[in-house]
Amino acid sequence: MTTTTHPETTISADQALPAVHITREFNAPVEAVFRAHVEQDLVAKWLGPRGLTMRVDRWDASTGGAYGYVHSQGDEEYRFFGSFHEVRPNERIVQTFTYEGFPDSVSLETLTFEDLGGGRTRIRSTSMFETKDARDMMLASGMETGVVEGYEQLDDLLAEA
């Protein structure tokens, strides 16, 4: 896996901690990947799940800032909010994350940007939940949507072939 040029998302649920780790590489310089995480109009283009509209109500991606956005589909709305604990340009973003459907639950997300050279970047994210139960519920939620989207993606791939 050291020479791969196909950047696939890897994910692992920590066995010892209530955490989820995600790693992904991008064919873009670290400055661009970072911008795509902090500039509201860029974030809105990719963060929302497919088929859902993303509306950003509040966005201040700076240390001590905050955010709030809504994913909607017809009458259904899913609201999320949190604080930016630290935004360190091209290096690191630390933020909290709450889904309003579970208002008492909050996770802490740490995202690091790593310059791989040659215009490539690796990001690593760790979402730390309050309990393993909360983590597992997060993993189990939206199973149906994920499966449907997975098939849609497969359809797209087959259409291209």
Partner 1 sequence: MDDRLSRVFSALADPIRRDMVARLAVGDATVNELAEPYAVTVQAVSKHLKVLEDAGLVSRGKQAQRRPVHLEAEVFDLMTKWIERYRLEAEQRYQRLDAVLAEMAVEGPEQAKTRIAKTRIEGEAS
Contacting positions for partner 1 (CB under 8 A): 7-13, 15-16, 20, 22, 24, 26-28, 32-33, 35-36, 38-42, 45-47, 49-50, 61-63, 65, 87-90, 132-133, 136-140, 142-143, 145-147, 149-150, 153
Q: Are 54 and 46 in contact (CB under 8 A)?
A: no
Q: How far is the CB of 98 from partner 1 (least distance, A)?
A: 18
Pairwise CA distance, residues 21 & 11, whole Å:
6
Q: How far is the CB of 103 from partner 1 (least distance, A)?
A: 18
Pairwise CA distance, residues 87 & 155, whole Å:
38
Cα distances from 155 to residues 37, 53, 70, in angstroms, run 29, 21, 27
Cβ proximity to partner 1, 98 vs 145, nearer residue: 145
Cβ proximity to partner 1, 33 vs 67, nearer residue: 33
| CA–CA–CA angle 20, 43, 139 (5° rounding) | 25
Q: How far is the CB of 28 from partner 1 (least distance, A)?
A: 4
